Structure 1
Amino acid sequence: MADTECNYQQIASVEDVKSALEGAQCQHCGITTNELMSRGEVLEICGEEYCSDISTGLKLFTTIAVCPSCHGRFHQDADNMHNPCQIKARWSREGLA
């Protein structure tokens, strides 16, 4: 589905993917599907942390559409290395891991 290795893509349901792609634009930078297609790119999906239960540590995610550039940044850790789990990458960037 994407050039960016992403653990979330392996667990996202078809319905969630369809719903995320309906907006036809990156939910972070706003670039549209048409603009991406003119560059030979397409929207990708990733999971964005919606909320978490502090007592259990359970995290709830929502499926979002992102451009390849934003998706790559989501998965960059503090050392600018790729992490297939964007949550762990974010924790690394924020000094939480």
Structure 2
Amino acid sequence: MEHSAAYDNKDLHVGDIVRFHTPYPDEDPNTIFIVLWSYYDPAGKSSRAELVKFDQSSKQTPVIQKWFIRDLERVPEVSPKLLKQIELFMKSKLGNAIISKLVI
């Protein structure tokens, strides 16, 4: 069964900022992810996106995971301050590791 059309998750592109539209009770609803790659299944059943969790506090290599696009939505409003933090995160040593992992 596909998602409701109410969620903004059509045509996700690299760099889009997303979150889970219906997080589990034990998950932080404010957790955001950056789209690294997306694939839309023509049948619409297994469309997925590869995401990296935005976590400034972690000194570990960021975790890259694949999730169903139907479970995601774009973050409707991103403050300029948060956008700057995301930009610095992606340009940091950790961000460069993400890019080089994708290219290799």
Same fold per TM (> 0.5)? no
TM-score between both structures, scaled by the size of structure 2: 0.28
Q: TM-score, normalised by structure 1?
A: 0.29
Query: Quick check: which one's strand share is greater?
Result: 2
